[in-house]
Chains A and B, each alone.
Chain A
Amino acid sequence: MLHRYPKRVAFIMLALLAIVAFYPLWGPAVFGDQSEFILEKLTLMVILALFAMSLDLLVGIVGLVSLGHALFFGLGAYTLALASPDFSPASLWWMLPLVMLVAAVAALVVGVLVIRTKGIFFIMTTLAFGQMLYYLVSTSPFTGGTDGVFIMFRPSVTLGETPLLDMSDPHTFFYLCLVLLVIGFLFLRWLTRSYYGQVLDGIHDNEHRMQALGYATHGYKLIAFVISGVLAAIAGMLAAMQYGFANPAQLGWHTSGEVLMMLILGGMGTIFGPILGAFAYEILLFVYEHLTMHWPILMGLTIIVAVLVLPRGIAGLIIAPPWQRKKTPAVEDEVAASPSVRSTTQHKEG
């Protein structure tokens, strides 16, 4: 569907990557005193970009709107918190696979229950499962309850006994996050362009047709759900690593709502869009909070305006800029037509 983008997409994304990746070179000159803080923010944006991207596979590609994606984000954070030893760093070599495994199992269990539902049912059931884990973590005696838990050491990266990377160094951690984001992006890009991705596309457009063609659509969707959950958990683990803190609020439905906002701002179904969305969201939040104590109104209005006038997000602007729309009617039609195709299939479920 939208998998062949104009050249400028690759150009813009590579330029952005270069700007972000070379931040340690130009940051101090531009931001002076505050460059360390900006690096921290940048790291957070990179982590959130991974989180938003993971949700895009579900929402943008498969067409399943989840309002419980924070479940996996928080699960990654808590897996790290609970599996880390108290007085020494864990090893990233086994922590990362562990987080992925835990998330995969959880996604499989939740997925089996929710994947049969569609549209609004899917929204509500994912929301409810998210809340279920939220309360489990909030009230369990093992998790530090509503106050949350500290992770005193960032997991280390060693080869045998020799430390390879110093994770406590903000630059090293920044590059770890950036590398994981790039890997995640390349993986999702490959996935969506593969045969499997085309089947997901088909399911998005018309699941009944795919079933009629003999595809076991539930299985395809379940796999996407698991992949999406695992990527979100990696992002959650990184978020917990950054500040050494995990809290149930990371699991709450407001977090799920926020990541959906990043998706709409960036442009869903494009994989690269959510990355832009995460950056845009955090920058907007930062600006709004500086402007007024009543910033939620500004953020709320921004989202409403985005939904009403910019439903394809920043990515939509890049793929089909307003001044080029007339020249490329094919793209325009596709953008305009696809949601209504979906809505007709969805209204029948009520």
Chain B
Amino acid sequence: MNNTFKKTILASLVSAGMMTSGLAAADEHPVKLGLMLPYSGTYTALGEAITNGLKLAIEQNDGQLGGRDVEYVQLDSEANPSKAPQNMSRLVKGDNVDFVIGPVHSGVAMGMLRVAKQSGAITIIPNAGLGAATNQLCMPNVFRTSFSMWQNSYPMGKVAYDQGHREVVTITWDYAGGKEDVAGFKEAFEAEGGEVVEEIFVPFPSTEFQSYLTQIASIDPDAVYTFFAGGGGVSFVRDYAAAGLKDSIPLLGSGFLTEGNVAALDGAGEGVQTTLHYAETLDNEQNQAFVEAYQEAYGKAPDTYAVQGYDTGAMLVQALDKVDGNTEDKEALIEALASVELQSPRGPMSFSESHHPIQNVYLREIQDGKHEVVGVAAEQLEVPDDACKM
């Protein structure tokens, strides 16, 4: 038995060793991209989608950035914040990457940004939505190609009010991302004149929602606004429908409630409305081409995470073209990145002074298992990162 173990380990050592050496031999001076994304654990699917999208964008540019070949250094962030600083440090100081791309998880982002601040490493965040990243923490070397919790939930406040809802119950996990998201919704909804009658916080990462659904039924509000993601989102939408609440109390949410997981909803999500900066059904040329190319390359439909990875790649392509592939002059590089304007699958996209995307936020409704775009909830929305003017 122990021999089998040894053989397995040896075999994987050998094969993995060959893989890494094969990768490294590409070019003498390639552009080094350090990917710090979850490749194990709960968030694996997100890490893979972002990586796929990123590589697709660079492949479409002949696999080059600014005329140089590209080398990827992929590091499993484990979505573990306590290891984030040392992992980031490994990429920056150990592997000497030119750019760090990551992470998915906001706690990991905090740990990474701590090192980004000390080292000045150029960091592009392709997902994590913590507001502070481009606000309180304000660093010239940090960009975001994704969203902030606020940007996606704020537009829903007005939508909810315009739909005639006056009393709303919010429900989310008791963690930083959930709180930020709900705060954005509440800000807009109460500014319009609505009232959040109850804010429910579910212990993270519990997906046992029965007791809360009963509570919601007993309050009987005009609508429910929610943020959950991944398995929690799927569970909540299904439980909400199974409790028979969907028809009497409309369910509104952040797009992450169902993003990437519509198939798992099994019909329970029909009619649920969410706001997000992307929908796979968006009717524009770039998106159609992107969906097709992604489908062909990876055999499955892309989601928001894939687009965020793709736009990160597109951003690098544009910026490095502008500086002719010179990654030594950091200031010029940062300037080039900040001035990037993309015709992205998600629509037009540029960057604010705080290096946060200015982008459309769409109102989407699930119809026939797809996120159909109902309208634009906010056009070219800029996040008021008051603490960060660069």
Contact = CB atoms under 8 A, between A and B. Distances in A.
Contact of B106 (A37, A40, A146): A146
Nearest to B106: A147
B8 A301 contact: yes
B39 A249 contact: no
A243 B109 CA distance: 13
Contacts of B110: 144, 147-148, 150, 245, 247
A160 B86 CA distance: 34
Contacts of A18: none
A275 B16 CA distance: 29
Interface in A129-153: 135, 138-139, 144-148, 150
Nearest to B12: A292
A293 B74 contact: yes
Contacts of A292: 12, 16
B205 to A, nearest CB: 10
B254 to A, nearest CB: 17
A40 B93 CA distance: 10
B90 A37 contact: yes
B381 to A, nearest CB: 23
Interface stretch (B76-84, B184-192, B298-306): B76-84
Nearest to B132: A147
Contacts of B20: 290-291
Contacts of B81: 146-148, 247-249
A84 to B, nearest CB: 14
B76 A289 contact: yes
Nearest to A308: B2
A30 interface: no
A38 B12 CA distance: 25
Contacts of A293: 39-40, 74, 76
B53 to A, nearest CB: 17
Given A138-B175, A147-B130, A296-B40, A291 B82 contact: no
B5 A291 contact: no
Contacts of B174: 138-139
Contacts of B106: 146-147
Contact of A145 (B5, B8, B179, B203): B179
A179 B275 CA distance: 54
Interface in A4-61: 33-34, 36-38, 40-41, 44
Contact of B107 (A135, A247, A298, A304): A247
Interface string A54-79: 00000000000000000000000000
Which of A37, A296, A304, A308 has most B Cβ within 10 Å?
A: A37
Contact of B111 (A245, A254, A304): A245
Interface in A65-101: none
B114 A243 contact: yes
Given A135-B203, A304-B5, 16 more contacts: A34-B93, A37-B90, A38-B94, A44-B86, A139-B203, A147-B176, A150-B110, A150-B114, A244-B114, A247-B81, A247-B107, A252-B82, A291-B17, A293-B74, A298-B9, A308-B2
Interface of A: 33-34, 36-38, 40-41, 44, 135, 138-139, 144-148, 150, 242-245, 247-250, 252, 254-255, 289-296, 298, 301-302, 304-305, 308-309
5 contacts: A144-B110, A147-B81, A245-B84, A248-B81, A304-B5
